[in-house]
Chain A
Amino acid sequence: MNNLALKDQQNSNIAIKNNMIIEKLKQHGTLLAFLFLILVNILITPNFLQIQTLYVNLTQVATVAIVAIGMTLVIASGGIDLSVGALMALAGTIAPLIFLSDFALMSPVLGLTLAILVAILAAAMGGLFNGFLISRYNIQPIIATLILFISGRGIAQVLTNGELQTFDHASFEFIGTGRIFGVPFQAIITIVIALSMAWVLRRSIYGRFLLAVGGNEQAAKLAGVPTAKIKMITYMICGALAGVAGIITTAINSASDANQTGQLMELDAIAAAIVGGVLLTGGKAPILGALLGACIIQLVGYTLLANGVHDAVAMIAKAIIIIAAVYMQQMKGAK
């Protein structure tokens, strides 16, 4: 009798332990998936453990990761931003216009600084415009951001007469191709942005209010949260980050192409944010998750490419990752 009871106890202990492991798996699914991918690559991809591979991947993932961080904030507020790709094009076009101007030729340092600041500011204003439409006129985010999705790229094309602007500007190109202690500069930018945003979300009133607005806007409003202001700030940050990504893209290419810069970026960023564990219903903003999500999508693409799988298949693989991520989210929600 006693023995049996003891066994029961042990069994239930094991069951609890198993549950805890499953729980942990669910909690850190994204990270585990990432580690698994690395392991697979070490086994099958030739030359994977070379520093060069790391740098190639870092260079390619930086822009998606930066935009995905902004997207995570927006989604956490209960919205979505389709205009990020267009805002990248806008910022990417404005910067060369400034640093190639006569003024910048006379004072290069000021010219370059202005070029970067104005470009980011323009993208931020685009974001503010989104936020204004959404919070002031209660337009649904998907519609409100569709306006700049269409017209933002249009503005960029008008600014350049639809032509490709090529340039040769070593200081600006450093943003896209430079290295510090061997690490790609854009990777450093990405990490700095991710860490500082994660810190802001954790420590600031803004972060708390953002999650409250996304979690239950009515309740947040009753508790004195300035919901409209929070939404405007959020879309503005998202726009500014898209601007940063646009500048990096332009710097990598040594050319600004209003037609191509940031194409389909909105979808990549949303995908990365979702894989990173953001809740589409709002109220949760895993910044480092978005970073990880972007890395996973990047790494899958790289794995397939490095192993000679066709590009089209890589797109299907991306879709599968998103499905898996959504499934995992629902499992988490179901507990």
Chain B
Amino acid sequence: MTITTKTAASEADTAANNSVQPILQMRNINKAFSGVSALTDASLTLMPGEVHAIIGQNGAGKSTLIKVLNGAHKLDSGDILYQGNPADFNSPHEAQVAGISTIFQEVNLIGYRSITENICLGYEPTRFGMVNWKKAHAHARSMLARFGLDLAVEKPLQDYNIAIQQLVAIARAVALNAKVVIMDEPTSSLDDKEKEVLFKVIRELQASGVAIVYVSHHLDELFQICDQVTIMRDGHTVAQHAIKDISKLQMVAAMLGRDIADFSDQTSQNAAQQPFSEVLLEVENLAGAGVLCDVSFKLHRGEILGLAGLLGAGRSEVARAIFGLDKERVKGKICVDNQQVSYDQPIDAINSKIGFCSEDRKEDGIIPQLSVRENLTLALMPKIAKNGLINETKEREIVTSFMRSLGIKASSMEQPISQLSGGNQQKVLLARWLATEPRILMLDEPTRGIDVGAKAEIQNLIKSLAKKGMTVLMISSEFEELVDGADRVIVIQAGKSVSEITSENLSENAIVQAVAHEAPRSSLTKGSAA
């Protein structure tokens, strides 16, 4: 409730302060993909010269909103007013011509062409029908000079790092007379110094009246660069605030769909029945894989350890690193049973009895063409085969027993897994790992996208497994789930393990405070000055 009233207030505020017309308004936008709603009554008001952040959890609808705005997706209903007129772009190109440019995470320019060509593509200065290269290079140089960049514009774009490529993309947008520039996670692959340059460019654009839509999950950055923030959840734009009126804690709360007051102080019921003493897994100074910079924690035998953090903090990357994925990109020490290990690939981790149920069922969980049976026993194959041949009797026995014990609902074990509900698919994947009888089971968002009933079943199952002595590392975006299930929680922020919440202090409120706590990253300016 507090949030809605605040929205109205802040909107009135903006209107009063600026007699200027908004450059862009999106009103009551609806968009569904094959019946599943991605945007519901989403709205966005953008003033000239403002940097407007859009934040939200994974799947909140941020990208869909951007894609509807730049013409990549057609909206189902709603209005877009651009410079006061109704706008209907059929493609990102049309939007760009009209002055709305999108800078993607993966720069969508032509790597092997020169910077000049990339900036001038489509409107090269010509002389006698030929490209006037002298003029083109000069133009490109002058565009970049605005951002304080002095580059060899004749060289291919791919000779430069991502940061420069991004700036070139922005330069192109500006050269095309952009009035609105949309930036999707612009800082995700930049280091601190590059970020400073980007922010300078953003301020420069802002000063010349360009409005910027800034999508990011690095909340700390928003306070440095943004004026307004729109928060999205489940396809709704739930709130808009001036950045100065909102705290990071409030942002997190709104993203999760809760009021700060709603976060219960109720501590976990799991108050250590027995003290966990034996360390089974120890991770020290894990770094790399793009986001991790320093993660350390210990996991005890029989314990459920929760990993909490915001989207992009590096939770999944921790589990992937332990499991032997991205090996060449990860540094740090991983010990299992006091032995330092370094798995080259998942099979090595599986052989030392570690299981990893990944976050995205569709992407890297199920094999859609295969049956429930074939999916369930996939990780178990080497154990139920002899001389390369599968022992089918044994396979069927195992599948039958897991289908019964986990209550997997399927017409038969031969039904293709793709026909099952999300909850049942998740149970099959859990069974895939349980069948390998792991000592350590890592679960990444074990209850995402499944119905309430199946969710409770899976949560109970995890608890009962731990009671029987299994050790669980549970990653979850739902703090409630962590409080309810975990014995202890490690909070990860921007690739660092920043705090530990033990069972006697474990509450939603404690997690939310820790997650939203000022991150080391926010000392960015100080850091780069030093």
Contact = CB atoms under 8 A, between A and B. Distances in A.
Interface in B357-402: 358, 363-370, 374, 378-379, 381-382, 385, 388-390, 392
Contacts of B378: 208, 212, 220, 223-225
A208 B390 contact: yes
Nearest to A279: B369
A224 B388 contact: no
A63 B358 CA distance: 44
Nearest to B417: A215
A140 interface: no
Nearest to B385: A205
A212 B365 CA distance: 11
A283 interface: yes
Contacts of B356: 222
Given A205-B382, A211-B374, A224-B347, A219 B388 contact: no
Interface of B: 323, 325, 345-347, 350-351, 356, 358, 363-370, 374, 378-379, 381-382, 385, 388-390, 392, 432
A283 B381 CA distance: 17
Contacts of B345: 221, 224, 226
A3 interface: no
A223 B364 CA distance: 9
A219 B367 contact: yes
B381 A220 contact: no
4 closest A-B pairs by beta carbon, nearest first, are: A283-B369, A218-B364, A215-B367, A224-B347
A209 interface: yes
A206 interface: yes
B347 A204 contact: no
Contacts of B365: 219, 222
Interface of A: 203-206, 208-209, 211-212, 214-216, 218-226, 279, 282-284
A219 B366 contact: yes
Nearest to B348: A224
Given A204-B389, A208-B390, A212-B378, A223 B346 contact: yes
Contacts of A221: 345-346, 364
Nearest to A199: B389
26 contacts: A203-B390, A203-B392, A205-B381, A205-B388, A205-B389, A208-B374, A208-B390, A211-B367, A211-B369, A211-B374, A212-B374, A212-B378, A215-B369, A216-B364, A219-B363, A219-B364, A219-B366, A221-B345, A222-B365, A223-B350, A224-B346, A224-B347, A224-B351, A224-B381, A279-B369, A283-B369
Contact of B381 (A209, A214, A218, A279): A209
A218 B363 contact: yes
A209 B367 CA distance: 11
B369 A284 contact: yes
A222 B358 CA distance: 8
B370 A211 contact: yes
Contacts of B364: 216, 218-219, 221-222
Nearest to B395: A208
Contacts of A215: 367-370
Contacts of A282: 369
Nearest to B392: A203
Given A212-B370, A283-B369, 5 more contacts: A205-B382, A216-B368, A219-B366, A223-B432, A283-B368
B370 A283 contact: yes
Max chain B Cβ within 10 angstroms of own Cβ: one of A203, A223, A225, A283: A223
A223 B350 CA distance: 8
A299 B396 CA distance: 40
Contacts of B351: 224
Nearest to B384: A205
Contacts of B389: 203-205
A223 B379 contact: yes
Contacts of A203: 389-390, 392
Contacts of A222: 323, 325, 346, 356, 358, 364-365
